[in-house]
Amino acid sequence: MTSLKNKTNKTLIVILGPTAVGKTSFSIELAKHFNTEIISADSRQFYREMRIGTSAPYPEELKSAIHHFIGNLSVTDYYNVSKFENEALCKLEEIFLSNSFAIMVGGSGLYIDAVCKGIDELPDPDEKIRNELKEKYKNQGLESLQQQLKKLDPEYYTIVDISNPNRLMRAIEVCLITGKTFTSLRNNIPKNREFEIIKIGLNRNREKLFNIINSRVDKMINSGLIDEVKGLTKYRNFNALNTVGYKEIFEYLDKKITLKQAIENIKTNTRRYAKRQLTWFKKDESIKWFHPDDLQEIIELINSH
């Protein structure tokens, strides 16, 4: 990747925050103001088959501003945060050829950190340990992995998606290989970027946010989430489908729970996910926090940077 000529002339505006806070519509208004393009850092909106359950932008929203990394993958594709880092940086360089600003928006803290700071040089997977952890997960369930990580690295346990077995196994594996906590090995030496970064966090009153989450889940159901999940049944073991909104509907389709219970579980798990996102982001003191209605104030902050 070639260097940009003048770092100070190029700025990446990062719009982040919990799920359902209003990042999509806000980032579109910001992109229109600065006449620039949007990079999605929502790791589940990458998958074209998962439109409803991930609240991917509507077609008319995608037409309002140029978006990248929305529906660009299939659930069967292998993808990871390292690939995203490389592809997003290449796309940013393209955008910066004709724009002073670019916007990145999302709630996936790991993917945002990868672009802003780079991902860490962690040890390669250990096949023996990974197979042992897979057996443990198969025989003892998700909770066994959760408890093991909580014991090995209680700090990372508070911010990781504890419903994602792959994330849990990778963190446990690193702890066991290195004898150190996963937390201590993450983001120790940020990589230099050839652009400025402004991080804008969006948040709302918790009660209001949770009401929006509950309402959005109801809209997903009414928009056809059940049919979307049914159409993905043969792919259910792929990592992309290990996601809130899909796992619960699979349980309903398996007749393990009622539809009413599935809907309530989606709401509960989404609220928990929003809390974990905020825990992750609150650790970053460079983030400036605003209400989603504060567009003009945020534009002034960006212009004065």
Q: pLDDT at residue 188 above 80?
A: no
Establish whether domains 7-120+188-304 and 127-185 are of one fold. Answer: no
Span 93-109, average pLDDT: 96
Q: Are 271 and 207 in contact (CB under 8 A)?
A: no
Domain covering 7-120+188-304 in this structure, CATH number = 3.40.50.300
Per-residue pLDDT of 49-93, as tens digits, reads 999 999 999 999 999 999 999 999 999 998 888 899 999 999 999
Per-residue pLDDT of 23-53, as tens digits, reads 999 999 999 999 999 999 999 999 999 999 9
Q: Which of the two residues, 7 and 138, has the higher pLDDT score? A: 138
> 290 pairs with which residues across the strands?
202
Which CB contacts under 8 angstroms, 24+ apart, belong to 229-235?
Answer: 229/53, 229/253, 231/49, 232/49, 232/50, 232/75, 235/49, 235/75, 235/76
Compute the distance between CA of residue 2 and CA of residue 15 in angstroms, rounded to an integer.
26
Q: pLDDT at residue 197 above 50?
A: yes
Task: Count CB-CB contacts under 10 A for residue 58.
Answer: 11
Span 8-32, average pLDDT: 96
What pLDDT score does 2 carry? 36
Please say whether the structural domain 127-185 has been given the CATH code 3.40.50.1100. no
Confidence of residue 106 (pLDDT cuts 50, 70, 90): very high
pTM over 0.85: no
Residue ranges covered by each domain of the chain? 7-120+188-304, 127-185
